[in-house]
Amino acid sequence: MSYTNPPQGSGPAPAGGSMPPQPAPQYAAPGTAPTATAPVGGYPPAAGYASAPAFNGPQAPLKSFIATWLFAMLLGVLGVDRFYLGKVGTGIAKLLTFGGLGIWALVDLIITLVGKQTDKLGRPLEGYEHYKKIAWIVTAAWVLLGVVVGAVNGATAGSRMPAALPEVSQPAPEPAAEVEEEAEPAAPAEEPAEEPAAPVEVPVDDTASWAADTYGTFDAVTQQGSGDSIIELPAGAGIVTASHNGSANFIVQVLDASNGMTGDLLVDTIGAYSGTAAYGITAFGEGARLQVTADGAWELTIAPIASAPELAESGAGDGVFLYGGDATAATLTHDGSANFIVQQHSDDFLAMGLLVNDIGAYSGTVPLGAGPSVVTVMADGSWTISLP
């Protein structure tokens, strides 16, 4: 009797019909490894097996909160914090505007302290939660120290003012002595009542004394020439009154002892010019000489800041003035077509100092801080400054 093996993969035939054909299993040839077949139709991987991980490019490490905070607090006006975060474009803009004249730097510091600052990829800073309390405490102490230093400077300047008063009143007795010799009646003794003219000038003298003590003093110097030139500067800060009758570029800028720029660009115009600008108040370095670029004849007078006049009610073009009054509101107008910038410089460490920064015609009212202070005006047209 012979037996025939049933076909592979067949079982008992279902009742009432024949079994459909089944595919035969595939076997690997001897000595070869079986070939895995990828699941068809998107079946999930078998139990116990994980799908292949997805690989992304390497990620740059997170930026440090401590470094960003210190850069923003100490070097914010130079944009170092934004350069560190990889925001090169805004870092350059912040550097060129000196931290938006302090406002941008302050805003970035606050954003960093409240944890809203991110790097160029939009990722938060590393270590904020751990160091935020320390950062707030140190920043508050830093601000408090600035307030104390400003108060001490103000008190020191105030203590110097009474010393100048006796010098103003001393010349008064001399006319009185001469009048008594000429006439015996008591009436001449009343003539010293004309002294009120001297006290009127006391606020200006006090402000000038403050300017001399703060920025130094020297003898005024006048230089004349034509075309490009270099002029040596006296020591200390000062003001430059310039005039030019050419038709091309007229540029006057301050250089340090190494002929590097100090940041003081006093004049940058085309054609004729007449005005006054200050140097050494907010410069990066100490000025040693002036570089003059001109195509025509020019004249420069270099004088100490203490020689600047009292704040004028009106004028035209650039000017430098002294203000020794109380804090008040100033109403300003300008009818020019270019920059109109008015700044106030004082011993107040926290004062922003930028009163107006506009282009073209202007009319508005701004807060003016208490003196003593230096007020600088940059304008190309006529302007007015009205005080209550």
Please give the pLDDT value at position 155: 64
Residue 38 has pLDDT above 90, yes or no: no
CA distance 320 to 241: 9
Q: Over range 74-103, report the average pLDDT.
A: 90
Please give the pLDDT value at position 57: 58
Q: Over range 282-290, report the average pLDDT.
A: 86
CA distance 13 to 363: 103
Please give the pLDDT value at position 166: 46
β-strand pairing of 339-345 with 328-334: unpaired
Of the pLDDT bands very low, low, confident and very high (cuts 50, 70, 90), residue 349 is low
Please give the pLDDT value at position 42: 46
Return the closest-CA partner of residue 178 out of 166, 191, 196, 197. 191
CA distance 195 to 173: 10
Return the closest-CA partner of residue 333 out of 361, 313, 366. 361
Residue 19 has pLDDT above 80, yes or no: no
Q: Over range 99-120, report the average pLDDT.
A: 90
Of the pLDDT bands very low, low, confident and very high (cuts 50, 70, 90), residue 36 is very low
State if pTM tops 0.75. Answer: no
Q: Over range 106-122, report the average pLDDT.
A: 90
Q: Which residues of 276-291 are buried (b: 16+ CB within 10 A; e: fewer)?
A: bbbbbbbbebebbebe
If DSSP codes are grouped into helix, strand and coil, which group holds residue 60?
coil
CA atoms within 13 A on the CB side of 81: 29
CB 116 within 8 A of CB 109: no
Of the pLDDT bands very low, low, confident and very high (cuts 50, 70, 90), residue 197 is very low
Average pLDDT of the chain?
Answer: 79
Percent of the chain's residues with pLDDT above 90: 46
Please give the pLDDT value at position 346: 86
Dump pLDDT digits (tens) for 307-341.
Answer: 999 999 999 999 999 999 999 999 999 999 999 99
**Sign of the C-alpha dihedral, residues 260, 320, 237, 95?**
negative
Q: What is the DSSP string of 223-291?
A: EEEESSEEEEPPSS-EEEEEEE--SSEEEEEEE-TTS-EEEEEEEEEES-EEEEEEESSS-SS---EEE
Q: What is the DSSP string of 318-336?
A: -EEEEE-S-SEEEEEEE--
Of the pLDDT bands very low, low, confident and very high (cuts 50, 70, 90), residue 269 is very high
Please give the pLDDT value at position 156: 62
CA distance 146 to 37: 75
CA distance 240 to 293: 15
Where does residue 63 rank: exposed (0-12), middle (13-18), buried (19+ CB within 10 A)? buried
Dump pLDDT digits (tens) for 200-239.
Answer: 333 557 999 999 998 889 999 999 999 999 999 998 899 9
Residue 18 has pLDDT above 80, yes or no: no
Residue 168 has pLDDT above 50, yes or no: no
CA distance 358 to 351: 19
359 versus 43: the higher-pLDDT residue is: 359
Of the pLDDT bands very low, low, confident and very high (cuts 50, 70, 90), residue 284 is confident
CA distance 306 to 205: 9
Q: Which residues contact 217 (CB under 8 A, 6 or more apart)?
A: 236, 304, 306
Q: Among 56-60, 186-190, 231-235, 327-331, which is the least confidently predicted range? A: 186-190
If DSSP codes are grouped into helix, strand and coil, which group holds residue 137?
helix
Where does residue 138 rank: exposed (0-12), middle (13-18), buried (19+ CB within 10 A)? middle
